[in-house]
Amino acid sequence: MSLSNPRTPDKPPKIEALRDPDRPLISVMIPAFNCFAYVEQTLTSVLNQIEDFSIFQIEIIDDHSTDGDLSSITEKYRHLNIGYFRQEINVGSLRNFETCINRAKGHWIHILHGDDMVKEGFYQEIFNLIKAFPNVGAVFTDYIYMNEKNEELYALPALHHESGILDNWFERISKGQRVQPPAIVVKRSVYEEMGSFFGVHYGEDWEMWVRIASKYDFAYTPKYLALYRLHQNNITSRSFLSNDDIKSIIKVIDIIQHYLPKEKRKELKRESLKNFSQYFAKISDKIYHDYQNPRAAHKHAWQSFLMHQNNVTLKYFIKNTIKRLIRYRV
């Protein structure tokens, strides 16, 4: 890739505007790279709940995968007019998301990663929110974490007890991530105004939600209708092992300061550093036991403590240090 089009753009890439009103209501764009084992499950989780295909655009955006022929999946469903686009070279997740958005024709865009899924009723609930709150920038459901076997693991407490526009959402989302990509649908015109994802390959979605929330309301339902997959081969897990997650989030926290009111920046930065440091400290246990990497776990715990000193980060740093000293079994 040329220097004029780097894998990690340093500012939001431009999204070309579409003016034709005769477009589908929603584009479900499925970015995929080396997740062949999951993509058909992702696609069928969408197809199984569609009654009117005329309001949908569905397309797989393949970032030059090498683990399987993704076009064979779209060929299997060719009677449903599923689109397929393959990058000529591997361009990286940020550029692949940008391609997704630019190729989307719908008034609303759902970027559904190739290893995630949606549950029955997701799109009906999304359409209900769009109809009830047409002027918001994004709508989302709550979500559940799952593993490689499609087993549901856990979910966070609901943000609110009923559907509607979230109060004080900009400040709330600026303190920490609370939306995962399979759960959210964004108005295309908002991407056209705000640009695409940039800056980092971990936490880029959080930066995007904060950026959008600085100008638009979000509508939400407490129904748990999206599934976000945790597995050792995705970007999130690779970031845990390399400590890129902590480095990237610190960078994002610095970026979003420019979106915040000046009088709130110090307070919100302090809170976001604390919230993420505690999350990352707890992840060190997962790295130690699930990924069986004590050295990376200890480094992760230490970097979490450096990010923000508090009782939780201190606890996990000491815990990891003791486990390494006594060579606690993995």
Whether the pTM exceeds 0.75: the reply is: yes
What is the distance between the terminal CA atoms of the chain, rounded to a whole angstrom? 40
- Let me know if residue 261 belongs to a domain: yes
Q: What percent of the chain has pLDDT over 70?
A: 96
Number of structural domains, the chain? 2
Residues 96 and 141 occupy one common structural domain? yes
- Let me know if residue 15 belongs to a domain: no
- Let me know if residue 234 belongs to a domain: no
- Residue 235, pLDDT > 90, answer no
pLDDT: is 272 or 2 the higher one? 272
Domain interval for residue 38: 26-229
- CATH number of the CATH domain containing 83: 3.90.550.10
- Let me know if residue 122 belongs to a domain: yes
What the block records as the tokens of 72 is 């064979």
Residues 62 and 210 occupy one common structural domain? yes
For the chain, the farthest-separated pair of C-alpha atoms sits apart, in whole angstroms, at 66
Q: pLDDT tens digits for 251-289?
A: 999 999 999 999 999 999 999 999 999 999 999 988 888
- Let me know if residue 289 belongs to a domain: yes
Residues 257 and 190 occupy one common structural domain? no
153: helix, strand or coil: strand
pLDDT: is 60 or 20 the higher one? 60
Residues 196 and 266 occupy one common structural domain? no
Residues 215 and 262 occupy one common structural domain? no
Residues 50 and 184 occupy one common structural domain? yes
Residues 206 and 304 occupy one common structural domain? no
228: helix, strand or coil: strand
Q: pLDDT tens digits for 80-95?
A: 999 999 999 999 999 9
Residues 222 and 316 occupy one common structural domain? no
Residues 53 and 197 occupy one common structural domain? yes
The residue assigned the tokens 């130690």 is 288
pLDDT at 246: 93
- Residue 2, pLDDT > 90, answer no
- Residue 3, pLDDT > 60, answer no
